[in-house]
């Protein structure tokens, strides 16, 4: 039977982990606490500003008070039509739906069964 290796045995051979030792501190290149509190500490900090201007979002989110879910199955063309109107007018789809209902009510006013 083959002899097992004792993982706890002290070995004189280097294990290769010595190359992962921490680097020595470079005291001169570090800004003092006073410099950090006052400003940039010699200009060694990189700006966190975006490299280019932010693009406007393709979808806008509004706080409208509309909090009731309304799910229904529609054709892809109908969904695309509502989405196109929402993008074109920059209004939420709930508002487009309200406009459509209002237009339907106006068109059907006076018909039998309408009050």
Number of H helices, E strands in the chain: 3, 0
Which pLDDT does position 41 carry in this prediction? 45
Residues 20, 14: Cα–Cα separation, whole Å: 12
Task: Quick: pLDDT tens for 78-105.
Answer: 999 999 999 999 888 899 999 999 999 9
Which pLDDT does position 82 carry in this prediction? 92
Task: Quick: pLDDT tens for 9-67.
Answer: 776 666 666 677 777 666 566 767 777 667 654 566 666 766 676 666 666 666 777 78
User: pTM, whole model, 2 decimals?
Assistant: 0.42
Return the residue matching tokens 């509309």.
66
Higher pLDDT, residue 32 or 75 = 75
């Amino acid at each position: 039977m083959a002899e097992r290796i004792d993982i706890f045995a002290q070995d004189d051979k280097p294990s290769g982990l010595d190359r992962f030792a921490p680097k020595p501190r470079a005291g001169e290149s570090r800004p003092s606490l006073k410099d950090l509190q006052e400003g940039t500490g010699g200009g060694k900090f990189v700006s966190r500003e975006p490299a280019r201007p932010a693009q406007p979002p393709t979808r806008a989110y509004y706080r409208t008070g509309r909090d009731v879910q309304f799910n229904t199955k529609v054709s892809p063309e109908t969904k695309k039509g509502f989405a196109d109107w929402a993008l074109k007018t920059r209004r939420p789809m709930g508002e487009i739906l309200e406009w459509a209902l209002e237009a339907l009510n106006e068109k059907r006013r006076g018909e039998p069964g309408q009050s």
